[in-house]
Amino acid sequence: MPLLMPGGANYIGVRNVAGTVSWYTEKLGLRKVPIELDDGEDCVALGFATDEAAFVLGPTGKSSGELTPLLYSSNVNKAREWLKSRGVNVGDVQRDPRQYFQMRDLEENIVEISEEP
């Protein structure tokens, strides 16, 4: 079972799409996925597998109507330590009622990593 898995196709608004794509590729091991996006002009889909998007990065100001972007983890503590070792800004593990923590990306966007439902 993978350490990190998509929690849905989460839209993240960024100022520098190319730079942020590189950051997510380096830090989380994501890669561009060839999926068709509704209103996807200037957007890039990233995922762990070629057929499933974890995030869609695009220009700021495009409202997605979604809450905080989410990834699931098979082991929250291990995921936190792995991300921290890769230079990612991570918060403390919390419980409500599941274990989770938050991380910040290159542009200070918050992503929540939660144990699987």
- Burial 20-57, CB ≥16 within 10 A → b, else e: bbebbeebbebeebeeeeeeeeebbbbbbeeeebbbbb
Entry pTM: 0.89
Amino acid code (one letter) for 55: F
> For the chain, what is the domain count?
1
Positive or negative, the CA dihedral 76, 31, 89, 37 is negative
Residue at 117: amino acid letter:
P
C-alpha closest to that of 3 among 56, 82, 91: 82
Q: Mention every residue, 6+ apart, whose C-beta is less than 8 A from residue 65.
A: none
Domain that holds residue 47: 4-115
Per-residue pLDDT in tens (0 to 9) along the chain, 117 residues: 689 999 876 889 999 999 999 999 999 999 998 877 766 678 899 998 767 888 999 888 776 666 789 999 999 999 999 999 999 999 999 999 999 999 999 999 999 999 988
- CATH number of the domain encompassing residue 35: 3.10.180.10
- 37 DSSP β-pair partners: none
